[in-house]
Structure 1
């Protein structure tokens, strides 16, 4: 594996996601300031639903990605790629029409109907853009995929600033601007593969056959990804059903800020897969061990950022004080979900263990759902419901590391258990102690954590210097 090439691509990916991160922070801090809790709740409902539109490509995008991962542009079958793209767009357009008709006849209320119809439109646009981005990533042209993210975020900034300047206090124009930015992203992506349509359409029999083959390969990974989102998503569904749009919006505000971080970190996985797919087994195993330990040592530093972040957010958005109380319980998602995405999910894809990943995620969703329903309808506690989802995510990360370590025949790291203990220490300190004392106490605990593994810290630092 060419470490310098990977780092270059990763740097561009992080830059693109950095732009997205800044935009997301602006979006998360300014939109709720203007909209109010209920209108912001509907905006978050659209964002929430749009997170699941990937289900409707049925795994086609993932299949194309897995089948063609590691192939250069001059090696990939352009006509088959283009033909499957046409099949995907036609299918999703039909689904969007069906969803829109259902929404119009449902009687859900004007705001929810608007959200559903816009989600259907967004589904067609975003899944088409996602298809091309996956093709670019498969060809190891991740920088072009990253640039498309920058284009999409940059385009969204223009109407967002205008809407905020005009103090528009209804959520609908923001949704339309969001869809428009994804449309521009799709146009940009299609321009980057403009030679593909010139290869011709294979005809419907071949296009459908190849699409079905890609769905068979990618459906497990797609369902695994959807299931991964549902681990927390089932909690949000339950809270919306039990406590309504206001509490849903308050929780979603907390989760939206966390999702910015996890999306930023997940860019590493996007870059690593095609590079690892071309690497030797020994290199893959070595990478896994170093990545696992490095992330376990680095990511808990996020907990220390909780204290200044909460202070600033409470100054800016005092009406979201309840959202801040959710943060301490959901912050471990940043640590364990991000680590799962970079190390374990990437390894499962490289090893073509999509079935195992699917099984793990489905079991995790089941545990999360049981805990969430118990917390929501038996104990009637939002905090218990959230904690159940977070505990499920932590358990998934620990089991996945155990499975991959066993598969690679490498020793399991004791750092993982210490990481869980450190997480419990953070939550207890935050809930029991005053803010400043809790901050200083956690910093001391984290310093002790690093000191306990000082030998491994030195090894990792030396390895990074060589790169």
Structure 2
């Protein structure tokens, strides 16, 4: 086995293991907690997570710039003084923002539950974004084992503490937030220990360097804005649901989204490993690797849709109070196909090709479409079914438009594959929503089998192409 392939497999192993733990914790939170804390409390917990998903906006591209500028570098080659100085300034900047959010919760929020959420959000922002700085340094230099260790510690502590509180019958959502904050703090300390040679210096080592800050933000702002826009694609719809319906409905829809997104944990793990590798790969091999990865990913993701039916059977019996939300899962379960391809392949390649501006443009277009569809489905028609369906429509639109750009850049042809994938997605949704389960399963299996038969030659060539790309 050549060294490149071995490194990819080893790094993927570490990343996937850490994300397996994340998946276990996510499963605990998604499937067990709704049964214990009630629909309304679960809604507030989901609201906290919803806000937390946007804390990355407040580094304004600073660490994204570092990630893009130094991607593929070796840890030992990093300028210690430069990175330490950036770290100190970054902490001060994040502290100011966290304080403002904390004050906002105290002064401007009247609902006591939402006030508590904003107060904790300020603390979470500081801990999370500082930890992001550390994780990005490790991922940038391909130290996947160490960055995975931070995630493992975070999720392990969270799971242990959460299970402990559940066993002693302390199961309100405030406790869950406290546990989340504590786990983030402890994993941050561990991250500082891992990067102590760079980030733990005497203050005399500090050098004020506004030019580096501005350059990092300038380089990373497009990627940061595109990431925020990416969150807003679904976030706009979720916010529309939260505003138009009650917190319980918001929690139920969020539960369905969380279940549908579990597979993304694995996809993101592999994407983390691939980016530094692409930065070091010869340009001529990028198209071969893209086609090969696509031929592996898409049949797998389309096959995963079949898990919906046994999963639905389990959930209906396990969470009877969420029966209404579980029925919507068939409408948004295919989101994993487009989110997975976007995360693992398209975004990773666009970043490696330094096409961050295009990522931003595509995401902004999709956010605009999201605003229109959200207004139509939640305000004009007030139809929850249409609002949920719009999520998959939006993600498919973004994925298709972005992949066309990658295909043009790499000079490859993917249109026929896209058509088949959209067709299979439509078959799954329409059959699952309108037909009896057994007929829907048979119909999808037949269509999926035809798809695999048509991809037979491509699948046979994939192993050979992967070996060629990584040799």
Tell me the CA shift for residue 166 of structure 1: 2.1
The answer to whether the Cα contact below 8 Å between 1:293 and 1:415 also exists between their aligned partners in 2 is no
Q: Deviations over 1:323-361 (max 9, x none)?
A: 112211111210011101111100111011111100101
1:376 counterpart residue number:
378
Contact residue 84 and residue 208 of structure 1 kept, 8 A? no
- Name the stretch that deviates more: 385-394 or 248-257: 385-394
Q: Summarize the alignment of residues 143-182 of structure 1 with structure 2, pairs less than 5 Å apart.
A: 143-182=145-184
Q: Aligned Cα RMSD in Å?
A: 1.7
Alpha-carbon offset, residue 195 of structure 1: 0.9
The equivalent residue for 1:458 is: 460
In structure 1, the partner of 2:73 is 71
Per-residue deviation, 1:312: 0.3
> Shift of residue 5 of structure 1?
0.9
Report 1:323-342 matches (<5 A).
323-342=325-344
- 1:95 corresponds to which of 97, 103, 107: 97
- Counterpart of 1:26? 28
Matching residue of 2:190: 188
* Matching residue of 1:266: 268
Change (3 A) 1:462 1:278: closer
Q: CA–CA distance in 1 between the matches of 2:262 and 2:184?
A: 17
The TM-score with structure 2 as length reference comes to 0.96
User: Take 2:68 and 2:207, find their aligned partners in 1: how far apart are those partners?
Assistant: 22
SS of structure 2 residue aligned to 1:74: helix
Cα distance in 1, alignment partners of residues 179 and 210 from structure 2: 34
1:64 & 1:339 partners in 2: Cα distance?
25
Normalised to the residue count of structure 1, the TM-score between the two structures is 0.96
Partner of residue 46, structure 1? 48
User: How much has 1:437 moved relative to structure 2?
Assistant: 2.4
Gap runs ≥5 in structure 1: none
Residue in 2 that maps onto 1:397: 399
The within-5 A match list for 1:403-414 is: 403-414=405-416
The range that moved more, 432-441 or 20-29, is: 432-441
Equivalent of residue 252 in structure 1, options 244, 251, 254? 254
Match of 1:234 in 2: 236
Equivalent runs, 1:354-365 vs 2, <5 Å: 354-365=356-367
Question: Is the CA contact (8 Å cut-off) linking 2:256 and 2:328 kept in structure 1?
Answer: yes
1:420-459 correspondence runs (5 A): 420-459=422-461
Shift of 1:206: 3.0
Measure how far apart 1:108 and its partner are.
2.9
Residues 24, 260 of structure 1: 8 Å contact kept = yes
* Partner SS for 2:9: helix
How far apart in 1 are the matches of 2:179 and 2:200?
32
Report the CA distance between 1:168 and its aligned residue.
2.3
> For the structure 1 residues 37 and 198, does the alpha-carbon distance in structure 2 shift closer, same or farther, using more than 3 Å as the test?
closer
Shift in Å at residue 75 of structure 1?
A: 0.8
1:204 Cα offset (Å): 7.0
| Alpha-carbon distance, 1:100 to partner | 1.3
Runs of 4+ aligned structure 1 residues displaced above 4 Å come to 198-205, 461-467
Query: More displaced, 374-383 or 192-201?
Result: 192-201
* Contact residue 255 and residue 330 of structure 1 kept, 8 A: yes
Q: Match for residue 122 of structure 1?
A: 124
What's the offset of the Cα at 1:461? 4.9
For these two proteins, the number of residue pairs brought into alignment is: 467
**2: CA distance, partners of 1:282 / 1:355:** 23
3-state DSSP class of the match of 2:142? coil
Structure 2, unaligned runs of 5 or more = none
Q: Is the aligned partner of 1:419 residue 2:421?
A: yes
Which residue pairs with 1:212 in the alignment?
214
